[in-house]
Amino acid sequence: MSLHEKQRRNRKEFVPLDWERAEKIREVLHYLHEINKLVPIIVEGKRDKKALKEIGFSGEIITLHSGKSIYEFAENISTRFEKVVLLFDWDQKGEELYAKIGEHLNGMWEDFASIRELLKILCQKEISEIEQIPTLFQRISGQNLDVTKWEE
């Protein structure tokens, strides 16, 4: 086998797998970005927050794991804000936290629950963590995700 054939075989060429789904993910995240200008997003941890900041989110993003109990955290949030977006992972732990925090913040997050559900559907079973969204987007579109730019 020639050197050229070996290089060609070893090279991973990008093939867009699902451009339409990537655009829908971008649209949902752009919508969330606009909401986040006025409403804080609550995520599980620092890596989720970092991932959202890296793709252009500039509003307040609050991490759940800040050393407080769930009750203390919810009390603090309910005194500081009228509305919040709950954006937890959709793995087992994330689902449990989503239910617990949601119960404590009743009436504050339900308006935005469909955003998380849409992301779950769009990301299918490929990923289950918020921090993995930029990587998934890159893989299915061949582009870096930037939620600040939107073209209709």
Q: What does the DSSP assignment read for the chain?
A: --HHHHHHHH------S-HHHHHHHHHHHHHHHHHHTTS-EEESSHHHHHHHHHTT--S-EEES-SSS-HHHHHHHHHHH-S--EE---SSHHHHHHHHHHHHHTTTTSGGGHHHHHHHHHHHTTT--SGGGHHHHHHHHHSS---TT----
pTM for this one?
Answer: 0.86
pLDDT in tens, 66-102: 678 999 999 999 999 999 999 999 999 999 999 999 9
- pLDDT tops 80 at residue 4: no
pLDDT in tens, 33-67: 999 999 999 999 999 999 999 999 999 999 997 67
